[in-house]
Amino acid sequence: MNVTLSLMPAKTLPKITTISEFPNNPKTLILEQCKTIKDINQIHTHVIKTGLILNPSAVENLLESTALVLRSMDYALAIFNQVQQPQPEAYNILIRGFNLNQNPEKAILLFKQMKENCIEPDKYTFSCILKSCSILHGLQEGKQIQAHTMKSGFGSSGFVQNTLIHMYANCGKIDIARRVFDEMSEREVITWNSMFAGYTTSSCWEEVIKLFQEMLKSDFGFDVVTMISVLTACGRLGNLELGEWLSDYIVENGLTGNLNLITSLIDMYAKCGKIDVARSLFDKLPRRDVVAWSAMISGYSQASRCREALDLFQEMQRENIEPNEITMVSVLSSCAVMGAFEIGKWCHFFVKKKRIKLTVTLGTALMDFYAKCGSVENSLDVFKKMPVKNVLSWTVLIQGLASNGEGRKALEYFSQMRIRNIEPNDVTFIGVLSACSHAGLIDEGREFFVSMNRDYGIDPRIEHYGCMVDIFARGGFIIEAYQFIKNMPMEPNAVIWRTLLASCKVHKNVEMGEESLRQLVKLEPAHSGDYILLSNVYASVGRFEDATKIRSEMRQKGIKKTPGCSSIEIEGGLHEFFAEDSAHPKSVEIYDAVEKMMKRIKSAGYVPNIAEARLDAEEDEKESSISHHSEKLAIAFGLIKTSPGTTIRITKNLRVCSDCHIATKTISKVFNREIVVRDRNRFHHFKDGCCSCNDYW
């Protein structure tokens, strides 16, 4: 047979001149040259015309190109259906193709069809079909296949057992996976790697390390895949020692050219707190894919170096690397922490524009971002649009509603969550309890606290006790809160006492305030905020002398206020200010803008009640001469007391609104709509007072 391939376009298949070459080296030729269905179609026509359709190897190569390279399962099935007696190899290719195309159900159907047609599966078939079960999380199906492998005599095949480990681990049965591993008489590196992968999917990081040590002891050589698994575990556990050992191994063995390996190394260093080492590795990479960028960005984000995370994201875009949903999760999480509302909104727009898949994780990150920036409506909107939601999404929603002053609505969603059979976890209850606290629902709070253990088997942690103290104290039941602390099964920490102390100011309870500070001094003697809080308790009942005394006591003890860092976002630009920092290029501009705004607000006939704020401001000016403008502005507004980590967001609308005839509306509405103040991780909305912290202005 010596037929010229006249149907082949010369540019796609330049090397093929005669069909006689085709069966000899079909794989490389077809796999490498076929770029489109049209190419396949041409070869397919020839295979039929020339009778090669009867040649199993030619058909298999054609199927491989169609199902595995071009991933066109419809076309692959069409070819397959023309074959009169398909061999197991042909079935295997189709099964693999269905797995690759995330269609394991069809793979299983094909396997059944194979049995009906009395075609005996081989070890590869079992391996492929176990993978289908693994993707489907079909434990029962997997077990049936395992029984089948035993009967067919393939039970001891390495291929089968490796996938079996993977299948059991993916179905959450890590113990059975380990049993398969332990019972294997001969292990290969892949076997060990399958077990590492199993532990990785189950987040059993310690087990990865233990198994790796076993591997080293048994003098078994490891490979790049092993190192990637172990490095991931080192990152999760903060095991820098082993991580560095592997790092040295990689350098000594000249493996630094492997991008995947170095990406794991970057991730490990970042998670172990060596973010700058991670960065220098990242900078040295000759080529960076989206995973490498994402690893570095998430490294900064998790190290709370959010500014650098956002800067790197910008750089990534300049390099024209397309971010994926995972990149966006880290970027949005950084925006949430920084309160970078405009940047985060842009990210949301970007996600929609690029049709980046709204996964549960991405959706939840978006929700969290909106909630933390005070835009709970947008957070809810994202939640409603999410195709898949999990306990984390519901928790973020409840938490977001609660911290934005919508406690009752948060509890309604908690009921919804229960109706839909989503099992709440310990963190969900923190949201639920803080919702009760914000809504002033003391009895409900008490009931939820009991219920979390009684009905859900969740032991309350110190954070849950803290929420209860907050519920009692905020509701004005200071004594009950104190009794509750005294009856706690664990030692109260500073946060608990601080919660009580903060409420003492609102409810003007000097005695409990003093007791709280006594306890606080034992736990954290140098925490400046606690002294300020007690001083405010005194001031709240008019004992200004005592207030001053506390502050001078603080000075005598040499306790300094933490330098404040604030940020202002104006039209998408984020400006950070530290105490004593007057050098920010935008500071004068911002100050001027807000001055003007103040004038307009005043000329609209509104005089803010800033007496208390002014008192504090003068105190602070004397004590630590805080000079950064953002905090001054906040003080001027009477919105907040100076405290580190404050974000004041001045949106574009605020300026517009002072110009756009909104002056007829009450100024509190303008404030409510336009100004949101974030103090650390708590959001403050100002209606008549702040619904988060009971502060009135």
Partner DNA sequence: GATCGAAGGA
Task: Name the minimum Å distance from CB 547 to DNA.
Answer: 30
> Are 512 and 478 a contacting pair, CB within 8 Å?
yes
**In 104-219, alpha helices (H):** 104-116, 123-136, 139-152, 158-170, 174-183, 189-201, 205-217
Options 42, 146, 149, 163; binder of DNA; rule CB under 7 A:
163
Between 14 and 172, CB nearer to DNA: 172
What the block records as the tokens of 272 is: 């172990």
42 touches DNA (CB under 7 A) = no
Task: Name the minimum Å distance from CB 342 to DNA.
Answer: 20
Q: What element of type H or E holds 472?
A: helix 462-474
Stretch touching DNA by CB under 7 A, among 155-163, 438-446, 549-557, 654-662: 155-163
Options 42, 162, 239, 247; binder of DNA; rule CB under 7 A:
162
Residue type (1 letter), 47: V
Between 298 and 536, CB nearer to DNA: 298
What the block records as the tokens of 373 is: 């920036």
Between 46 and 389, CB nearer to DNA: 389
Spatial neighbors of 61 by CB under 8 A, at least 6 apart, are: 26, 27, 30, 31
229 touches DNA (CB under 7 A) = yes
> Are 503 and 478 a contacting pair, CB within 8 Å?
yes
Between 83 and 225, CB nearer to DNA: 225
> Are 500 and 534 a contacting pair, CB within 8 Å?
no
Between 126 and 531, CB nearer to DNA: 126
Task: Name the minimum Å distance from CB 629 to DNA.
Answer: 28
Task: Name the minimum Å distance from CB 263 to DNA.
Answer: 5
Q: What element of type H or E holds 339?
A: none
Spatial neighbors of 402 by CB under 8 A, at least 6 apart, are: 410, 431, 432, 434, 435, 437, 438
Task: Assign 150 to helix, strand or coil.
Answer: helix
Options 46, 173, 271, 685; binder of DNA; rule CB under 7 A:
271
Of 249, 188, 240, the residue nearest 209 (C-alpha): 240
> Are 472 and 498 a contacting pair, CB within 8 Å?
no
* Binding-residue pattern over the window 64 to 103 for DNA, x denoting contact by CB under 7 A: -------------------------x--xx--x-------
Stretch touching DNA by CB under 7 A, among 14-22, 39-47, 356-364, 653-661: 356-364
Options 5, 69, 290, 462; binder of DNA; rule CB under 7 A:
290
Q: How many CB atoms lie within 10 A of CB 356?
A: 18
Q: Give the CA distances from residue 289 to residues 164, 226, 281, 354, in Å, rounded to whole numbers and listed in that order.
A: 32, 21, 14, 18
Between 354 and 687, CB nearer to DNA: 354
303 touches DNA (CB under 7 A) = no
Task: Name the minimum Å distance from CB 386 to DNA.
Answer: 9
* Binding-residue pattern over the window 2 to 31 for DNA, x denoting contact by CB under 7 A: ------------------------------
User: CA-based angle 547:677:644, to the nearest 5?
Assistant: 50
* Binding-residue pattern over the window 104 to 133 for DNA, x denoting contact by CB under 7 A: --------------------x--xx--x--
Q: Give the CA distances from residue 554 to residues 169, 509, 533, in Å, rounded to whole numbers and listed in that order.
A: 57, 21, 12
- Residues from 164 through 183 that contact DNA (CB under 7 A): 166
Query: What is the spatial distance between Cα 279 and Cα 50, in angstroms, rounded to a whole number?
Result: 58
The pairing of strands 565-570 and 646-650 is: parallel
> Are 259 and 285 a contacting pair, CB within 8 Å?
yes
Between 83 and 663, CB nearer to DNA: 83
Between 467 and 550, CB nearer to DNA: 467
Query: What is the spatial distance between Cα 673 and Cα 601, in angstroms, rounded to a whole number?
Result: 14
Task: Name the minimum Å distance from CB 140 to DNA.
Answer: 20
Between 205 and 538, CB nearer to DNA: 205
Task: Name the minimum Å distance from CB 24 to DNA.
Answer: 19
Task: Name the minimum Å distance from CB 298 to DNA.
Answer: 4
- Residues from 437 through 496 that contact DNA (CB under 7 A): 463
Of 123, 131, 124, 126, the residue nearest 146 (C-alpha): 126
Stretch touching DNA by CB under 7 A, among 101-109, 146-154, 258-266, 498-506: 258-266
The radius of gyration computed from the CA coordinates of the chain, to the nearest angstrom, equals 32
224 touches DNA (CB under 7 A) = yes
* Binding-residue pattern over the window 381 to 410 for DNA, x denoting contact by CB under 7 A: ---------xxxx-xx--x-----------
Task: Name the minimum Å distance from CB 99 to DNA.
Answer: 8
Of 577, 545, 553, the residue nearest 642 (C-alpha): 577
Task: Name the minimum Å distance from CB 270 to DNA.
Answer: 8
The pairing of strands 675-679 and 646-650 is: antiparallel
Between 160 and 512, CB nearer to DNA: 160
Residue type (1 letter), 520: L
Of 624, 499, 498, the residue nearest 554 (C-alpha): 624
Options 42, 61, 232, 647; binder of DNA; rule CB under 7 A:
232
Q: How many residues does the chain have?
A: 697
684 touches DNA (CB under 7 A) = no
Stretch touching DNA by CB under 7 A, among 13-21, 202-210, 296-304, 564-572: 296-304
263 touches DNA (CB under 7 A) = yes
Spatial neighbors of 381 by CB under 8 A, at least 6 apart, are: none
Options 66, 247, 264, 646; binder of DNA; rule CB under 7 A:
264
Between 390 and 653, CB nearer to DNA: 390
> Are 449 and 456 a contacting pair, CB within 8 Å?
no
364 touches DNA (CB under 7 A) = yes
Query: What is the spatial distance between Cα 690 and Cα 603, in angstroms, rounded to a whole number?
Result: 24
- Residues from 416 through 435 that contact DNA (CB under 7 A): 425-428, 430-431
> Are 577 and 630 a contacting pair, CB within 8 Å?
yes
Options 61, 194, 247, 375; binder of DNA; rule CB under 7 A:
194
What the block records as the tokens of 618 is: 């003068």
What the block records as the tokens of 185 is: 């008489």
> Are 439 and 412 a contacting pair, CB within 8 Å?
no
Options 39, 207, 368, 679; binder of DNA; rule CB under 7 A:
368
Stretch touching DNA by CB under 7 A, among 29-37, 159-167, 411-419, 538-546: 159-167
- Residues from 663 through 682 that contact DNA (CB under 7 A): 681
Stretch touching DNA by CB under 7 A, among 175-183, 348-356, 358-366, 471-479: 358-366
Between 201 and 627, CB nearer to DNA: 201
Task: Name the minimum Å distance from CB 41 to DNA.
Answer: 24
**In 354-406, alpha helices (H):** 360-372, 376-385, 391-403
Q: How many residues bind DNA (CB under 7 A)?
A: 73
For the chain, count helices (H), then strands (E).
38, 5
Query: What is the spatial distance between Cα 37 and Cα 72, in angstroms, rounded to a whole number?
Result: 8
- Residues from 309 through 348 that contact DNA (CB under 7 A): 324-327, 329-330, 333, 336
562 touches DNA (CB under 7 A) = no
Task: Name the minimum Å distance from CB 59 to DNA.
Answer: 13
